[in-house]
Structure 1
């Protein structure tokens, strides 16, 4: 990294990251300012920033978010989320910890079939209403759900975008991810629930009067527009089917989401302006800025240098190499977005696996996937789902600070990564 552009790009990224952490200025302003500086110093340019698949804005992520936000915006008008909030609280007998367990479990399971961002977009409105009904702070519940979404998303090919990249490069199938990662993720969700009982113990305050009020409610009365609800759920089901059938249809999730949003607006009576008002535009702007900054690190060769150094440290040592891959991927994915990191690391991992004489399902691939997916829980900007939920919380006047999320995320990441390391050793390296 002798080129001054590389060091300047690192300085811009580090400075921006420090501003986001300090919260001296709003994270959107920091990200857009950092992106502007990357362009100003020549670390990247307009062609790379806006058109490059490798180092530009990931428009698939942006438009996936926008499409799903529009669909969720229409569903909000039906009363569906109020219905689900009352139903879930009644099922848990209004016990706060039981409510959290239910929401965490649903989030993890849904994230295995949908991408984790879509899942949190659907579950967050329910959570906010549940907490309002029970007079509980929403932040602990939202944080727990984000952590669950990243863990659940690791279990399948479609659950987290890095898994799709890994599957494409290694020739892995949907069933390969189920066989190799799903059993571990079930254990990790159980561990997360146990940690939540301890980490958020001060949150679980039972209000007997409020509980009695909620138990007397009829959730069916919450549905305001049955016709719109049927239309919305039908379109949502089609969108989910499109996500699951991606290996067959070959439509990107962003295309499916936009088609669904367009269809729902066309067949419903909801005004387009009302739907667009529900889109979290600051969140989309933050992602755009973040992608441009990371693109600067890619274009100047910083990410490649880190990946090559990691590959050199691994060499041909399978066990220690897998552990180093897991640990380093966890750390790096907590700092930079895991999509460009995995995209850069995947071909290097492929060469390493081939040099070791390994098959497509070599432990090195699973170490990369687990590190990238679980590492996203480490910080408030470690994964797309984290950023989305922070935006939703802020919009609903329940802001979650960088450190409020990160102090819990680091604990969960450390615990789950340690268990993942043990799992890799037991499954792929321990003597029979």
Structure 2
């Protein structure tokens, strides 16, 4: 009876963590560090685990992969490559609003599959605002579409969204595993999204069509500067990393290895023109520390027995494998719409470990359900994903505030549609 108190304590700590993260009383990294310290003290006092075991729970592969990709994206962004690409698309298709949306969201989804979502929307959003302001069209619907496309595209690959990096590292799933199993679902989700977005934003499209007839190409054309020589040198290591990712399953190395090789090749090719201190300064160390603190927090809560209790509860409600898979998908989506999907996935991974102990068949599709649910669920609300909040901030600074309810009007529809498509895909392929 006494032992059952500890999972309850773990649950209260988890509720405290999510509440503080949602209310944003302090920076999420500060919150994670405080809770990690609390969990560490509690576990050591109860002799459930040691300081060394909690430190060892930090997934160095994930940290190194994120750090390496941040360095490469930072250097490539400085060349003007992404601004140039986006501006060319906008300049060519501005007179065809729906085609523009399809091309722009398609490009955003593709870029987000290989670059983190926040970086992608930071690159594209200012250009979208500039073009729509010249047309005197409200930029908010298009900005929201870009966010949706970014979150959808990021789900397709191992490196597209942090939850996938966590899942891949934890379950020993490689780059090509995600390409084979998750990317087909994302293609279907994106096609459904492109169809429904025309109906969701029909008033905006009508306004766009009426305004664009009075504007010439010269008034909206905007070609960003690009240092082509520098960009070519940076793109080569980047493409090398992507190529090495595809060979993970054959050669058997973790995802961090190709990323580190790419960074080394990058410094060899353009090292003289890079200020290493500035590059390292642009690495989002705050996020990396957040990850490290969360790894320790979740490990400590797992030691308190909470994950075992959650797994037992899920298994008791799921009558079949398909029901279990769909439960994980929908629970992940609904939860991730309201809380940060990174701590949620960190919480669910040890829960899945407990569930897998009781299964006698291939349970890998459960990880695909977790990936699809946690990543696509971020489209549900304004606070569901970091990219959503970033774009809302950019829009507000330009005089176009995005309300929670305004985002919800589009977001919940897109999220539910995405999860329905994902459900059908999972049932047909793994049911």
TM-score by length of 1: 0.74
Rounded to whole Å, the distance in 1 between the matches of 2:61 and 2:216 is 42
Note closer, same or farther for the CA distance 1:428–1:84 as it changes in structure 2 (3 Å cut). closer
Note closer, same or farther for the CA distance 1:22–1:213 as it changes in structure 2 (3 Å cut). farther
Match of 1:328 in 2: 331
Rounded to whole Å, the distance in 2 between the matches of 1:60 and 1:404 is 38
Rounded to whole Å, the distance in 2 between the matches of 1:181 and 1:311 is 24
Match of 1:48 in 2: 53
Match of 2:225 in 1: 222
Q: 2:299 aligns with which of 295, 298, 305?
A: 295
Rounded to whole Å, the distance in 1 between the matches of 2:302 and 2:91 is 50
Match of 1:280 in 2: 284
How many angstroms does 1:235 deviate by?
A: 1.1
Match of 2:240 in 1: 238
Q: Contact 2:32–2:293 (CA<8 Å) still a contact in 1?
A: yes
Q: Contact 1:85–1:127 (CA<8 Å) still a contact in 2?
A: no
* Post-superposition CA distance 1:226-247 (Å, at most 9, x none): 3221210111111111222221
Rounded to whole Å, the distance in 2 between the matches of 1:24 and 1:157 is 31
Count of aligned residue pairs for this structure pair: 408
Match of 1:131 in 2: 129
Superposed, which structure 2 residues align to 1:175-254 within 5 Å? 178=180, 182-197=183-198, 206=208, 212-213=217-218, 215-217=220-222, 219=223, 222-223=225-226, 225-254=227-256
Rounded to whole Å, the distance in 2 between the matches of 1:425 and 1:266 is 47
Rounded to whole Å, the distance in 2 between the matches of 1:266 and 1:8 is 51
Note closer, same or farther for the CA distance 1:272–1:168 as it changes in structure 2 (3 Å cut). closer
Note closer, same or farther for the CA distance 1:288–1:77 as it changes in structure 2 (3 Å cut). same
Question: Which deviates more, 393-402 or 370-379?
Answer: 393-402
Rounded to whole Å, the distance in 2 between the matches of 1:405 and 1:249 is 48
Question: Which deviates more, 77-86 or 191-200?
Answer: 191-200
Note closer, same or farther for the CA distance 1:424–1:245 as it changes in structure 2 (3 Å cut). closer
Q: Contact 1:75–1:232 (CA<8 Å) still a contact in 2?
A: yes
The unaligned stretches of length 5 or more in structure 1 are none
Match of 1:415 in 2: 417
Match of 2:70 in 1: 69
Q: Contact 1:111–1:149 (CA<8 Å) still a contact in 2?
A: yes
* Post-superposition CA distance 1:140-163 (Å, at most 9, x none): 666645543554455567763466
Q: Contact 1:242–1:249 (CA<8 Å) still a contact in 2?
A: no
Q: Contact 2:140–2:402 (CA<8 Å) still a contact in 1?
A: no
How many angstroms does 1:263 deviate by?
A: 2.7
Q: Contact 1:21–1:402 (CA<8 Å) still a contact in 2?
A: no
Note closer, same or farther for the CA distance 1:412–1:309 as it changes in structure 2 (3 Å cut). same
How many angstroms does 1:120 deviate by?
A: 5.4
Note closer, same or farther for the CA distance 1:379–1:297 as it changes in structure 2 (3 Å cut). farther
Rounded to whole Å, the distance in 1 between the matches of 2:284 and 2:143 is 17
Superposed, which structure 2 residues align to 1:385-424 within 5 Å? 386-387=385-386, 407=408, 409-424=411-426
Q: Contact 1:73–1:275 (CA<8 Å) still a contact in 2?
A: yes
Note closer, same or farther for the CA distance 1:35–1:427 as it changes in structure 2 (3 Å cut). closer
- Asked if 1:310 is matched to 2:314, the reply is yes
The unaligned stretches of length 5 or more in structure 2 are none
Match of 1:103 in 2: 104
TM-score by length of 2: 0.74
> What is the DSSP-based 3-state SS (H/G/I as helix, E as strand, rest coil) of the residue aligned with 2:43?
coil
Q: Contact 1:342–1:372 (CA<8 Å) still a contact in 2?
A: no
Superposed, which structure 2 residues align to 1:348-427 within 5 Å? 350=356, 354=360, 360=362, 367=369, 370-375=372-377, 377-378=379-380, 386-387=385-386, 407=408, 409-425=411-427
How many angstroms does 1:20 deviate by?
A: 2.2
Rounded to whole Å, the distance in 1 between the matches of 2:175 and 2:259 is 23
Q: Contact 1:121–1:389 (CA<8 Å) still a contact in 2?
A: no
Superposed, which structure 2 residues align to 1:144-163 within 5 Å? 144-145=145-146, 147-152=148-153, 154=155, 160-161=164-165
How many angstroms does 1:167 deviate by?
A: 7.5
* Post-superposition CA distance 1:171-219 (Å, at most 9, x none): x9958963x65544322112223454566678777575887346544x3
Rounded to whole Å, the distance in 2 between the matches of 1:229 and 1:303 is 46
Q: Contact 2:112–2:120 (CA<8 Å) still a contact in 1?
A: no
Rounded to whole Å, the distance in 2 between the matches of 1:17 and 1:210 is 48
* Post-superposition CA distance 1:337-364 (Å, at most 9, x none): 465456435555556653xxx6x48976
